[in-house]
């Protein structure tokens, strides 16, 4: 499995492992991943982001997944699927 650097907006900041390799975009277009945290309107916000990205760059595919609960962390299987199927992943919360 490839390593993924997660940026969590909480203190204290954890130092990332050094020497992380950049992922090459395979083929033509970006494979875009979306993780919906299950809050109200997060799906609308993410859809707007996807539409904006598609308007500005070539997108080969979009994999959109949703957490089972807003109060629980994403399951490892869900994160593994995003790591396999996406070059870039964005998550959002909204109300």
* 26 or 31, higher pLDDT: 31
Mean pLDDT for the stretch of residues 75-90: 91
Angstrom CA distances, 66 to 14, 34, 86, stand at 26, 8, 15
Q: Which residue has the tokens 């080969």?
A: 60
Label residue 48 exposed, middle or buried (CB < 10 Å: 0-12, 13-18, 19+): exposed
In sequence order, what E strands does the chain have? Answer: 30-36, 59-66, 88-92
Q: What are the tens digits of pLDDT across the range 16-28?
A: 555 455 555 556 7
């Amino acid at each position: 499995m490839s390593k993924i650097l997660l940026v969590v907006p909480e203190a204290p900041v954890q130092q990332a492992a050094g020497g992380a390799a950049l992922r090459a975009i395979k083929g033509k277009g970006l494979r875009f991943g979306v993780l919906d945290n299950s809050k109200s309107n997060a799906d609308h916000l993410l859809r707007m982001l996807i539409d904006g990205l598609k308007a500005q760059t070539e997108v080969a595919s979009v994999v959109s997944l949703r957490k089972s609960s807003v109060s629980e962390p994403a399951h490892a299987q869900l994160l593994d699927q995003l790591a396999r199927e996406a070059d870039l992943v964005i998550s959002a919360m909204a109300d």
